[in-house]
């Protein structure tokens, strides 16, 4: 239960019943700035004061009286300075809260939202590199989070397996095959993909006998292209698996093209009068040598908030990449989701407005379509920027990163910052086994609790919950209060698509746990296991179990392991 939401609803009903009408959207029940203020801060006096043109403190004491009359679980109700009502819940409220605490909220099936989330969608021309990792993890954690709060999530990958780059890729693989089979040196001056992974792809194609006759490139290029791409996709899927990611659906651009979806979609836009033949202005700023004014088929994206209209056809008359993408989004819309999320790298941010524009055009502004970008990741090693290898086409792959620091560290750290902020990723820090490493710190909390569970062999089912009343110390009640922030945290994270709130919360909870743990060193009455009162031991273990369940749930949303021992 989210107690803040619960009391907000309760208090709003109370206000309504007593004719305190206002914009209830503005009313909030939140944790106060300082714990000394109590457990809940209710801002109604500030909102009502404006509405009723009265002193907030005066209204505050009226409402405080109403609350006092109706609710018995508050130990203290104060009206404070600018116009807050601060409420402190009795400790027996927290005890019963703990007793019923659950990490999940049941969601009524009818309120489930169908959500499509597209992420990674890296080109099928080679393995994932480190630059893909952040968006990949962000998208995946978001998917986990939305599933956790009860939504129906489809994880989607769009494969750009069509167009020029695929020809170049296929030529490159061909050159590598020639190099292997006929000792023809790989040409470095023809703009081919130089990366070493192409050798691996070439070898696989030879090994699997996917292509045997290499005498005439033109004759086999389509077959070779498909073979090379499916090899590349195998690489990507294996990289994703190493990152703990599995998509539900892979949509192929080539399929959309072969189903003639592009011209069909463009015709829809045409009927909506969003298409015209026109000439784009020369972009300012960066000089383009071979620029020439050109009449092209254009999408009127400026009507939907874009900066310029966008080309749908190239000068040779074929569809642009964007035209295909419009069709892809039409295909998404056709499948009727309640919400569409698209995760992109910061380097594609410039693409965002035209995507939104085409979705708005196709859906008549009805689709809930949101693009999220992830800022770049800067790699560090012991505080120094990490230099990538200079060899052309060589980069740190996702797999190398996972191999170097482990999937837990990669996932946790990639999500540890707001997606809008650039991220420093330090290879050394994330493998340290000290509290400086947040991954370790949270996992250590899990291991500590497990160690207690092992020693006490405590059986939840035989525990008499009435003994929870033995948890009388302030720190224990504070721990329960911290647990109560869990629901709020995931709801906020899910609503705003901000999964970074979860590791922050877990860090905070772990810190409270470690702190609690160490009390026993100063004062043996705080020892959890070595305590004469067996019922108190059980009550404390019950509390630890609930903390563990939150840590486990949180880490499972992040896709990070919660270890039993370390």
Partner RNA sequence: GCGCUCUUAGCUCAGCUGGAUAGAGCAUCGGUUUUCUAAACCGAGGGUCGGUGGUUCGAGUCCACCAGAGCGCACCA
Residue (97 or 162) nearer to RNA, CB: 162
Please say which residue, 203 or 302, places its beta carbon nearer to RNA.
302
Helix, strand, coil abundance in the chain, percent, nearest 5: 55, 15, 35
Under the criterion CB under 7 A, does residue 88 sit at the interface with RNA? Answer: no
Long-range contacts at 172-177 (CB < 8 A, ≥ 24 apart): 172/198, 173/198, 173/201, 173/202, 173/205, 173/224, 173/228, 174/214, 174/217, 174/221, 174/224, 176/201, 176/202, 177/202, 177/205, 177/206, 177/211, 177/214
**The only residue of 72, 106, 284, 336 in contact with RNA, by rule CB under 7 A:** 284
With CB under 7 A as the contact rule, the residue among 263, 435, 466, 534 that binds RNA is 435
> Considering beta carbons, is residue 6 or 181 the nearer one to RNA?
6
CB of 224 to RNA, least distance (A): 17
Contact between 31 and RNA per CB under 7 A: yes
Interface positions, 510-539, toward RNA (CB under 7 A): 511, 514-515, 517-522, 526-530
Residues 164-203 that bind RNA (CB under 7 A): 164-166
Give me the least distance between CB of 212 and RNA, in Å please. 28
Q: Residue from 218, 290, 364, 464 that binds RNA (CB under 7 A)?
A: 290
Which one of the spans 170-178, 314-322, 328-336, 457-465 is the region binding RNA (CB under 7 A)?
Answer: 314-322
Q: What span, in angstroms and rounded, lies between the C-alpha atoms of 551 and 483?
A: 10
Binding residue (CB under 7 A) for RNA from 1, 6, 21, 26: 26
State which of positions 349-378 bind RNA (CB under 7 A).
349-353, 373, 375-376
The reply on whether position 482 binds RNA by CB under 7 A is no
Beta partners for 74? Answer: 89
Total of residues contacting RNA (CB under 7 A): 104
- In Å, how far from its chain's centre is CA 210? 38
Q: Which residue, 216 or 434, is less far from RNA as judged by CB? A: 434
Stretch that binds RNA, among 75-83, 135-143, 196-204, 398-406 (CB under 7 A): 75-83
- Shortest distance (Å) from residue 529 CB to RNA: 4
Toward RNA, which CB reaches closer, 69 or 291?
A: 291
Query: Minimum CB separation from RNA for residue 353, in Å?
Result: 6
Which residue among 105, 315, 466, 472 contacts RNA (CB under 7 A)?
Answer: 315
Q: C-alpha angle 316/318/321, rounded to 5°?
A: 120
- 295 makes contact with RNA (CB under 7 A): no
Give the CA dihedral 143, 148, 150, 151, nearest 10 degrees. Answer: 0
Contacts of 345 (CB under 8 A, 6+ apart): 131, 132, 134, 135, 373, 374, 376
* 313 secondary structure, DSSP code: B
Cα→Cα distances 464→18, 67, 287, 544, Å? 41, 32, 76, 16
Distance of alpha carbon 402 from the chain centroid: 19
> Could you say whether residue 386 binds RNA (CB under 7 A)?
no
For RNA, give the closer residue by CB, 109 or 532. 532
Hey, which bits of 388-533 come out as E strands?
Answer: 423-426
Nearer to RNA, 216 or 503 (CB): 503
Q: Which string of x and - marks every residue 450-479 that binds RNA (by CB under 7 A)?
A: xxx--x------------------------
Binding mask 34-73 for RNA (x = CB under 7 A): x--x---x-x--xx--x-----------------------
| Tally of CB atoms within 10 A around 170 | 23
Does 422 bind RNA (CB under 7 A)? Our answer is: yes
**Per-residue contact flags (x/-) with RNA for residues 142 to 161, judged by CB under 7 A:** ------------------x-
The size of the chain, in residues, is: 566
Tokens 């194609």 found at: 205
Tokens of 479: 């721990």
Write down the least CB distance from residue 184 to RNA, Å. Answer: 26
- Range in contact with RNA (rule: CB under 7 A) among 62-70, 142-150, 400-408, 427-435: 427-435
* Of 24 and 71, CB closest to RNA: 24
Can residue 347 be called a binding residue for RNA (CB under 7 A)?
yes
7 is an interface residue for RNA by CB under 7 A: no
Residue 156 φ/ψ, nearest 5 degrees: -120, 145
> Can you tell me which of 204, 418, 473, 535 binds RNA, judged by CB under 7 A?
418
Contact letters (x/-) for RNA, 201-240, by CB under 7 A? Answer: ----------------------------------------
Of 270, 260, 248, the closest CA to residue 327 belongs to 260
In the numeric block, which tokens belong to residue 242?
């190493």
| Of the candidate residues 177, 228, 498, 559, the single one contacting RNA (CB under 7 A) | 498
- Rounded to the nearest 10 degrees, how much is the dihedral formed by the CA atoms of 440, 438, 146, 241? -50
Say if residues 98 and 337 touch (Cβ distance below 8 Å): no
Per-residue DSSP letters for 138-198?
A: HHHHHHHHHHHTT-EEEEEEEE---SHHHHHHHHHHHHHHHHHHH-PPPPSSS-----THH
Longest dimension (CA), the chain: 91
- By CB under 7 A, which span of 195-203, 404-412, 434-442, 463-471 interacts with RNA? 434-442
């Amino acid at each position: 239960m989210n107690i803040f939401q619960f009391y907000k609803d309760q208090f709003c009903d109370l206000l309504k019943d007593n004719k305190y009408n206002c914009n209830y959207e503005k009313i909030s029940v939140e944790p106060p700035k300082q714990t000394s203020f109590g457990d809940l801060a209710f801002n109604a006096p500030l909102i009502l004061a404006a509405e009723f043109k009265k002193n907030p403190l005066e209204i505050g004491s009226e409402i405080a009286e109403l609350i006092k009359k109706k609710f018995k679980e508050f130990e203290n109700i104060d009206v404070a300075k600018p116009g807050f009502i601060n409420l402190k819940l009795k400790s027996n409220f927290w005890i019963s809260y703990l007793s019923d605490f659950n990490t999940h909220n049941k969601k009524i099936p009818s309120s489930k939202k169908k959500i499509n989330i597209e992420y990674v969608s890296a080109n099928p021309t080679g393995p994932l590199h480190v630059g893909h990792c952040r968006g990949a993890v962000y998208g995946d954690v978001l998917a986990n989070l939305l599933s956790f709060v009860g939504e129906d999530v489809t994880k989607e990958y769009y494969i750009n397996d069509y167009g020029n780059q695929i020809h170049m890729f296929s030529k490159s693989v061909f050159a590598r095959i020639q190099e292997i089979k006929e000792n023809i040196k790989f040409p470095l001056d023809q703009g081919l993909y130089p990366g070493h992974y192409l050798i691996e792809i070439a070898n696989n194609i030879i090994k699997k006998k996917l292509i045997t006759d290499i005498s005439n490139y033109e004759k086999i290029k389509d077959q070779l292209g498909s073979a090379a791409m499916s090899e590349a996709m195998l690489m990507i899927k294996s990289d994703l698996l190493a990152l703990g990611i599995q998509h539900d659906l892979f949509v192929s651009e080539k399929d959309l093209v072969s189903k003639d979806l592009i011209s069909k979609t463009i015709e829809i836009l045409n009927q909506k009068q969003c298409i015209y033949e026109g000439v784009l202005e020369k972009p300012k700023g960066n000089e383009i040598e071979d620029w020439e004014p050109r009449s092209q088929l254009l999408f009127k994206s400026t009507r939907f908030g874009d900066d310029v209209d966008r080309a749908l056809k190239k000068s040779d008359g074929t569809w642009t990449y964007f035209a295909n993408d419009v069709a892809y989004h039409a295909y998404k819309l056709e499948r009727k989701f309640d919400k569409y999320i698209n995760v992109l790298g910061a380097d594609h941010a410039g693409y965002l407005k035209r995507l939104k524009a085409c979705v708005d055009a196709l859906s008549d502004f009805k689709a809930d379509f949101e693009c999220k970008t992830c800022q770049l990741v800067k790699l560090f090693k012991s505080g120094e920027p990490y230099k990538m290898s200079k060899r052309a086409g060589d980069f740190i792959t996702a797999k190398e990163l996972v191999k170097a620091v482990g999937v837990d560290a990669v996932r946790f750290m990639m999500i540890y910052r707001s997606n809008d902020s650039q991220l420093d990723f330090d290879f050394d820090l994330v493998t340290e086994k000290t509290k400086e490493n947040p991954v370790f710190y949270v996992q250590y909390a899990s291991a500590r609790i497990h160690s207690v569970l092992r020693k006490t062999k405590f059986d939840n089912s035989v525990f008499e919950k009435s003994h929870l009343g033995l948890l009388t110390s302030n720190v224990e009640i504070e721990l329960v209060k911290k647990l109560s922030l869990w629901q709020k945290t995931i709801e906020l994270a899910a609503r705003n698509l901000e999964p970074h709130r979860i590791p922050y919360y877990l860090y905070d909870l772990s810190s409270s746990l470690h702190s609690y743990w160490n009390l026993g060193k100063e004062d043996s009455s705080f020892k959890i296991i070595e305590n004469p009162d067996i019922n108190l031991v059980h009550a404390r273990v019950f509390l630890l179990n609930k903390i563990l369940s939150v840590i486990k749930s949180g880490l499972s949303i992040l896709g990070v392991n919660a270890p039993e021992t370390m």
